[in-house]
Structure 1
Amino acid sequence: MRRRHAMPFGAELQAGAGVRFRLWAPSAEAITLRLHVDGGLREHPMQRLDGGWHACSVDEAGAGTRYDFVTPGGLAVPDPASRSNPDDVHSASQVVDPQAHDWRDDGWTGRPWHEAVIYELHVGTFTDAGTFAAAAERLGTLAALGVTAIELMPVADFPGRRGWGYDGVLLFAPESAYGTPEDLKRLVEAAHGHGLMVLLDVVYNHFGPEGNYLHAYCPEFFNAAHATPWGAAINFDGAANRTVRDFYVHNALYWIEEFHFDGLRLDAVHAIRDDSAIHIACEIAEALAAGPGRERHVHVVLENDANESRFLLRDASGRPRHADAQWNDDFHHAAHVLATGEADGYYADYADAPIARFGRALAEGFVYQGDPSAFRDGEPRGEPSAHLPGTAFVSFLQNHDQIGNRAFGERLGPPAVQPDRLEMLLACLLLSPHVPMLFMGEEYGASSPFLYFCDFGPELASAVAKGRREEFRRFAAFRDEAARARIPDPNDESTFRASVLKWSEREAPPHAARRALVQQLLALRSQWLVPRLAGMSAGGQYRVDGTLLQVRWPLADGAGWHLAANFGAAPAEPPRRGHVVFERCADGPRLRGDGVRIALERAGG
């Protein structure tokens, strides 16, 4: 099986021989294609076409040919639609034959969304080698754990050798530090062999601060009418926006069709400025559904701090109209307050009634559904979400943001969090109807932090390090300059190295016990809950009695799923209902402090 996504951009191999090159640059009077061949450079004038396009076909070019484009001012730039940039983002692009890989997963049609158990991982720190190939070797352990989907943090080519991926600038080129496009395809293929879906995190709200040359020769790519933290917004709704929108629609289709990914996670949709009649996130979802989604399961997940449930609506048959789910930060924030007692920053919005806030997140998805947010100076946040099924929410106790944006990248665990409380919250997460997500290493309580790291050029690196430390000035613990100086420098390689997982910990105490608990919970989820999630139509109800939280969800087969959790020190006695699927810290009908009970009440009793 050979796979290729045909694009109007960039370098496309021709049926006979040669390569067709196309670049969109409406403001440029002339563009020159420059080939790097036989140790020298050969220039080919490109023909200016209607609509701002520049194009030419070159017979001598083929797979492996290095090339770039030269602007009227003499600036050589990589192809913004490059499939590969082996020497990083400032260097020449490389022609790729997408059909060189012979896929061996022809029978793979994906998995339905209600089966998803997501494992978020960063390729560079997931293994010592930090490559696609090394990650592929670890997939069997994740499948055995009970994971059904891996979610890769962004792999679009970013400047330097180290980074989270959210500063990508070449959106079609896999990060060269991780391996070749072929290596990434083998990773996806290996995952499918283990029954794992592969989701890719993509960033469509901005480009990184280094290596984006579009500003220099294609100002039409941006819309100065919208200001963002990164400068002018990407032009999704201004003049000449159709080509820009096509660039991103093709990028989404490219990853799904050419690399056989099973879905995309769209980063920070709230930061995409788009006043069009159809939001670009919806247009992308529609294109995926009308294309590869006709033949297999293709999923769209959003990050959206605005809690706009309109993106998550279901049709009359219960199928998502656009996005399958959204990352549920509200669940995390309420759980974090219950785990740590922290009330700084946005946690203040959950600290007034954390048990009730957590109960609402479990039962209804969003905590803030149009409610005023004290953290946002009383501004209302969110839209109603109780009408949505639990599977419309990806919930988590940890992720890259919530760990990495802490000064020292510390994970949730001792001494800040007592083991009983953390294990109770894990049960609430993994045995709720939400789609659960684990961050790499969380399943065994990894000791390694996940710090913010990058690899920018010297001037930008200095500014980033200074800015990173100044961000924490408002926290009492970092008001002193000496305290801020202890925050790791994001550009120092040791910051990156400290974040690499220690796989040997998995088999050592107490890590092995945590891993066994997670595996047990996921096995129970697969046996008792997953078969009853398909077709689940709405959320649940919750009540709080002192420190006792009770939640009930109606499942698709008419059964009821019950959760009881005691967040106090004194024992509590919730009503016993149905078959007990899981419980801990229980004395008969009573739950001791940090006790939890999950039960299934079948239809008709």
Structure 2
Amino acid sequence: MHIGTFTAEGTFAAATARLPELAALGITAVEIMPVGQFGGHHGWGYDGVLVRAAHAPYGSPDDLRRLIATAQRHGMMVLLDLVMNHFGPFGNFLPGYAPDFFNQRPTPWGDGIAFERPEVQSFFREAALGWLTEYRLDGFRLDAVHQIRDGQEQKFLRDLAREIRAQDFGRPIHLITEDERNLPHLREQGFDAEWNDDWHNALHVAQTGETQGYYSRFARDPFGDLALAMTRGQVDEGAPHPEEVRGAPAGHLPWTAFVNANQTHDQIGNRAHGERLLTLIGEPSARVCHAALVLMPFLPMLYMGEEEGRDTPFLFFCDPPDEDAREAVRKGRSAELRGIGYDLEGMPDPTSAEAFEASKPYAPDPPAHAEAWRELTRELLALRAAQVVPLLRSGKTGLGEVTRHGPKAFEIRWPFAAGEIRMLLALGAPAISAAPLAAPQFRLGDPTAEAFAIEVEFRA
């Protein structure tokens, strides 16, 4: 959820009013994109400059507290996307009065932060603990932890997790990372889960045929990569690759250590026109992918609007302080997207208020299919709660087992102490050599006869 675009008003209070709708669908957790104070009125939030101050245009700190408390009363957790790896360029005066806070190691966003210094570690440790104690959050998604480098194999992050685990907050605290390295070490030492871009990227290439930029890693055999992701969680686990060796084996981790998504703000917004997956692949494929995401054993994450099939774009937008800064953003954004092969014809100005307004997914008049999508989401989440969660609680007893039925269809089995999940999945061609499942509890089409279809069976 991005607070600024989740509602027409773009405030904590307006978002709070909509939380009962999410709870009624079966949503159990809300992950809020960064709200640390940043320069200007609107932006994604990843250019924050005041780590512990809620962005004033969204409302007061008490408004945010009410949002969190309301979600919890409705049975939903609230996790905050916390950025500790860089500061934004607009309104950031820290380098002027504390230059030693930074080092000369470059990052994609400027000079690296000197995490090797104890006082810098204390600054961010206190910020994280402050969010937990002052706002009663249920946890964090930590942005791009591969750029949090302390020279001690990320002892800072491991110590932070240990300190949080040692305290009694009166509720479980969930710690999720974004880490492009695909390494399991943090999940083995205090962290719960990691955003699993491998799933998204393989699915995106398999369904759209796009292979530009970072999708090129999955261009050779995207359906084979999907099979591997369903078997082990990740795709890249340290095998040689023409670009780089990436990752390490992670199949020993619980399935809930992988946060899978079919789309996120990153994947939608880092396109020239901010198209959602539904726009790119159409409803038949999108509905089947939606069902597979929710009913697999991994942790499923939806991006706001996805629960009701919205096709509104989510664009990159920011609010620089002057025309020089605006022009720099325009040029930088164009160069980045052109460099990975996107057509920039008609691309909205990322510094305009129009780009911000166009990214609000819930238009007053919902599309005709919105209620059908909401019913599908409600059915899927109810099945997940009733069938998948008990199996997860019983414990994983082995890797996923995938049988390929033609180039674009799969039969998958995930074993647990209390039973198993079986899925027959067609993602572009029917599973003509497969037998239908014996007693599926969910069915969308016929995977043995239709190009896009899914059956799922839960066995005790």
Deviation at 1:128, TM superposition (A): 0.5
Whichever residue aligns with residue 164 of structure 1, its letter is: W
Matched, 1:233 2:112: yes
Aligned pairs (5 A) from 1:227-376: 227-237=106-116, 241-276=117-152, 278-292=154-168, 295-313=170-188, 321-374=189-242
Deviation, 1:476, is: 4.9
- The question of whether the paired residues in 2 share the 8 Å contact of 1:198 and 1:262 is answered with yes
Query: 3-state DSSP class of the match of 2:115?
Result: coil
Equivalent position of 2:370 in the other structure: 511
Counterparts of 1:188-199 in structure 2, within 5 Å, are: 188-199=68-79
Which residue is equivalent to 2:247?
382
Contact 1:370 1:381 in 2 (8 A): yes
Shift of 1:467: 1.0
Q: Distance in 2 between matches of 1:134 and 1:279?
A: 39
2:385 to 508, 514, 526: 526
Q: Residues 568 and 404 from structure 1, CA distance in 2 versus in 1: closer, same or farther, beyond 3 angstroms?
A: closer
Q: Compute the displacement of 1:503 (Å).
A: 4.6
Distance 1:475 1:304 in 2: 21
- Pick from 313, 318, 325: which aligns with 1:449? 313
Q: Which stretch of structure 1 is more off in the superposition, 509-518 or 402-411?
A: 509-518
Distance 1:298 1:491 in 2: 36
Q: d(CA) in 1 for partners of 2:232 and 2:291?
A: 18
Distance in 1 (alpha carbons) for counterparts of 2:351 and 2:293:
34
| Structure 2 portions without partners, runs of 5+ | none
State the distance in 1 between where 2:128 and 2:417 align.
32
Residue 155 of structure 1 contacts residue 174 of structure 1 at CA under 8 Å; is this kept in 2? yes
Q: Deviations 1:393-450 (Å, cap 9, x if unpaired)?
A: 0000011000000101111114x31321111111110001111000000111213211
AA matched with 1:307: N
1:139: how far off?
0.2
Q: 2:92 aligns with which of 212, 218, 228?
A: 212
Which residue is equivalent to 1:542?
402
1:296 Cα deviation (Å)? 1.7
- Give the deviation of 1:279 after TM superposition: 2.6
- Identify the match of residue 553 of structure 1 among 410, 414, 420: 414
Q: Aligned partners of 2:154, 2:342: CA distance in 1, in Å?
A: 45
CA displacement 1:261-309 (0-9 Å, x = unmatched)? 000000001122221255322222111111245x320000000010011
Q: Residue in 1 aligned with 2:256?
A: 391
Tell me if the contact between 1:203 and 1:267 (Cα under 8 Å) persists in the aligned partners: yes
Q: Distance in 1 between matches of 2:110 and 2:315?
A: 26
Structure 1 residues 140 and 503, CA gap change in structure 2 (3 angstroms): farther
Structure 1: gaps (5+ residues): 1-120, 314-320
Matched position secondary structure for 1:139: helix
Deviation at 1:578, TM superposition (A): 5.7
Tell me by how many angstroms 1:544 deviates: 1.9
Cα offsets for 1:567-601 (capped at 9, x unmatched): 343452434556412122228xx342212111122
- 1:71 corresponds in structure 2 to none
Report if aligned partners of 2:33, 2:81 keep a CA contact under 8 Å in 1.
yes
TM-score (ref. length: structure 1): 0.73
CA distance, structure 2, for counterparts of residue 477 and residue 439 of structure 1? 23
Q: Which amino acid aligns with 1:371?
A: A
Deviation track 1:233-264 (CA, whole Å, cap 9, x = no partner) reads 11111xxx111101111111111111000000
Q: Which residue number in structure 2 is paired with residue 574 of structure 1?
A: 434
**Deviation sequence 1:66-105 (CA, Å, 0-9, x none):** xxxxxxxxxxxxxxxxxxxxxxxxxxxxxxxxxxxxxxxx
Counterpart pick for 1:423 among 283, 287, 309: 287
> Distance in 2 between the 1:598 and 1:561 partners?
7
Tell whether 2:274 aligns with 1:409.
yes
CA contact (8 A) 2:272 2:342 kept: no
**1:349 Cα deviation from its structure 2 partner:** 1.8
Letter in 1 for 2:275: E
In the alignment, structure 1 residue 463 sits paired with structure 2 residue 328: yes
CA–CA separation in structure 2 for the residues paired with 1:264 and 1:229? 22
Inter-partner Cα distance in structure 2 for 1:477 and 1:123: 28
2:421 partner SS: strand
* CA displacement, residues 34-91 of structure 1 (integer Å, 9 cap, x when unaligned): xxxxxxxxxxxxxxxxxxxxxxxxxxxxxxxxxxxxxxxxxxxxxxxxxxxxxxxxxx
Return the offset for 1:522.
0.9
Superposed CA offset, 1:215-250 (max 9, x none): 1111221223x222333311111xxx1111011111
Cα distance change on mapping 1:504 and 1:555 into 2, 3 Å: farther
| Cα pair 2:212 2:341 within 8 Å, conserved | no
Give the match's secondary structure for 2:302: strand
Give the residue type in structure 2 aligned to 1:490: P
Q: Answer 1 or 2: which has greater helix percent.
A: 2
Residue 70 (structure 1) aligns with: none
Query: How far does residue 347 in structure 1 lie from its aligned partner after superposition?
Result: 1.6
Moved segments of 4+, more than 6 Å: none
The residue type paired with residue 286 of structure 1 is: R
2: CA distance, partners of 1:578 / 1:526: 22
Does 1:584 find its partner at 2:449? no
Q: Comparing both structures, which one devotes a greater share of its residues to strand?
A: 1
Which one of 304, 319, 339 corresponds to residue 474 of structure 1? Answer: 339
3-state SS of 1:533 partner: helix
Supply the AA of the counterpart residue of 2:330. Answer: A
* Amino acid corresponding to residue 527 of structure 1 in structure 2: A
* 1:562 lines up with 2:427 in the alignment: no
Q: Which has the higher contact order (CA 8 A, sep 6+)?
A: 2
Q: Deviations over 1:497-555 (max 9, x none)?
A: 1111225344x412221221111111111111111212524542223232321221112
- Say if 2:437 and 2:455, in contact at 8 Å, map to a contact too: no
Q: Mean Cα displacement is larger for which, 142-151 or 419-428?
A: 419-428
Q: Is 1:599 aligned with 2:457?
A: yes
Partner of 1:105: none
Aligned-partner Cα distance in 2 for 1:277–1:527: 40
Greater displacement, 515-524 / 393-402: 515-524
Indicate if the aligned counterparts of 1:249 and 1:287 stay in contact, CA closer than 8 A. Answer: no
Contact 1:408 1:488 in 2 (8 A): yes
Is the 1:364–1:541 Cα contact (8 Å) retained in structure 2?
Answer: no
Instruction: Answer yes or no: is the 8 Å Cα contact 2:85–2:112 preserved in 1.
Output: yes
Return 515-524 or 531-540, whichever deviates more: 531-540
* Contact 2:48 2:88 (C-alpha < 8 Å) held by counterparts: yes
* Aligned counterparts of 2:320 and 2:215: Cα–Cα separation in 1: 31
